Structure 1
Amino acid sequence: MRHALVTAALAPLLLWQGRHVRRVTPRLPEAAGPRAGTTGHGPPLRLLVLGDSAAAGVGVARQSEALTGCLLAELAPHHTLHWRLLAHIGDDLAQTAQRLPALAAERFDVAVLSIGVNDVTGRTPPARWARAYADLLAQLRRDHGVRLSVLTPVPPMHLFPALPQPLRWTLGQGARRLNHALATLAQRTPGCALLAAPFPLDDPGLMAPDGFHPGARANLLWAQAAAAAIRRYHQASHDRTPATP
């Protein structure tokens, strides 16, 4: 309630600040490089990276420095990876879901998701966002065979250097509200792993030059956290498998 009241009272200032940020913030491209392929050695693992500009590698020059490239480097020594990146600048949850038909009948074991910043800026209500997120996860399981969905929390937007106050505080509160809904969803949904905040954005060296996206070091920490979640899932699955007599 307090967040809604403050946002309403500050609406003219927040609108002006939002327009100003869009005008002065450098517009970085998505990282260059392939968005699908096969790499690595070992048991096969089919991997999908799905979501927004952070997942698409905005903030670094090459996909090898982005989340997907760093994740491949973490997992390739242990798996033959058949992987796909489906992520785009500006996509919110609804737009991400609308892109799933591009996958056709492709099957994946693991999906790593980065969704939420554009829902914060677009003021998607948390309850509606959580319902749509649950639908997306169900579609990934039903249509694409995903057994593990690794959920990335919405980053701490109150720490984004590109954002002035009070816009920074307001968006940070919005991110917290979505993350609360995401934590509840993850607890209720089988086959989900919610990452802890994967990098401390109060370290300016982890941010891209635009002050809004993760840089190469942050992507490495993010990928390491996601890879650890995937390894824990596979170890737990192995432990549950009965031994052959």
Structure 2
Amino acid sequence: MPADRDAPLVYVALGDSTVEGVGASSPEASYVGRLHARLRAVYPNARLVNLGVAGATSADVLAGQLERAIALGPHLATLSIGPNDVTGRVTLETFERNVGAMLGRLARETRAVLVVNLLPDLAVTPRFRASAARDLVGRRTVEFNGALGRAARALGVEPVDLYGPSREELPRRPELVWSDGYHPSDAGYARWAELLWTGVAPRIAAR
């Protein structure tokens, strides 16, 4: 990211409903909005372009968000994707291929710092905790996190772990989940932003 703290900076967020901010009381309360606020504390001229769409799968991001993200020439790009692939009929191989294609193009065609998060443990959310699908969703979450990790590390990007903290915290902190029993609440998004900032902050210091 720019050494000049007064330089214009473009932050592009790609992904699904968590990127769009479903469950947040305002765009500023989403994790993307919170990351933007943290960025602006360092880069006052940082601009956010949020491409997130509720319900998006990895294929949707690849087809509908990636080209625009590249065209914007971002300095920072975050990608949060996977739950709709996990709960849908998307194969692990297709998901890994899609994520690899997205990250590969962002790495080759932009100079963006890339930040990717592992999925939280969907099986411990109220929506799935007592569901017959719990074990399947839990198993697929682990498998898809493996795919995310492989795709990211192949490009030298260490994914931010939301899985471990979610397993530990969600069962004892119900306030982290929105009223739908699935998406993060304002408090949940604040925690996401705190964790994801660990993937951004070192890159500010390094440039």
Q: Confirm or deny a common fold (TM above 0.5).
A: yes
Secondary structure of 2:78's match?
A: strand
Q: State the shift of 1:146 in Å.
A: 4.0
- Structure 2: which 5+ runs fail to align? none
Residue aligning to 1:72:
36
Residue 153 (1) aligns with residue 122 (2): no
Question: Aligned in 2, Cα 1:102/1:148: closer, same or farther, shift over 3 Å?
Answer: closer
Give distance in 1, aligned partners of 2:170 and 2:80: 16
Match of 1:166 among 114, 132, 141: 132
Asked if the contact 2:104/2:155 (under 8 Å) is kept, the reply is no
Where do 5+ consecutive residues of structure 1 fail to align? 1-40, 239-245
Given the alignment of the two structures, is residue 222 of structure 1 paired with residue 192 of structure 2, yes or no? yes
Query: Which among 105, 110, 121 is matched to residue 76 of structure 2?
Result: 110
Residue 158 of structure 2: SS of its match in structure 1?
Answer: strand
Find the counterpart in structure 1 of residue 52 from structure 2.
87
Instruction: Tell me what 1:181 maps to.
Output: 147
For residues 1-245 of structure 1, what are the structure 2 equivalents within 5 Å?
42-79=6-43, 80-99=45-64, 100-103=66-69, 105-143=71-109, 145-163=110-128, 164-190=130-156, 192-197=157-162, 199=166, 200-202=169-171, 203-235=173-205, 237-238=206-207
Deviation at 1:104, TM superposition (A): 6.9
Q: Which has the larger radius of gyration?
A: 1
Q: 1:104 to 1:44 in 2, by over 3 A?
A: closer
Aligned length: 195
Shift of 1:83: 1.6
Q: Secondary structure at the match of 2:32?
A: helix
Q: Shift of the alpha carbon at 1:166?
A: 2.3
Q: Is the 8 A contact 1:42 1:77 kept in 2?
A: no
Deviation per CA, 1:28-56: give whole Å up to 9, x if none: xxxxxxxxxxxxx7444321111000111
1:148–1:193 contact (8 Å) kept in structure 2: no
Give the alignment's TM-score, normalised by structure 2: 0.86
CA distance in 2, matches of 1:181, 1:81: 31
1:72-95 per-residue CA deviation (whole Å, 9 max, x = no partner) reads 222211112122000111100000
Question: How much does 1:103 deviate?
Answer: 4.4
Distance 1:210 1:201 in 2: 14
Change beyond 3 A, Cα 1:122–1:219: same
Letter in structure 2 aligned against 1:58: V
SS in 1 for 2:14: strand
Bigger Cα displacement from structure 2, 130-139 vs 99-108: 99-108
Root-mean-square deviation (Å): 1.8
Q: TM-score w.r.t. structure 1 length?
A: 0.74
Runs of 4+ in structure 1 over 6 Å off: none
The Cα of 1:234 is off from its aligned counterpart by 2.6
Percent identical residues = 27
Q: Is the 8 A contact 2:25 2:186 kept in 1?
A: no
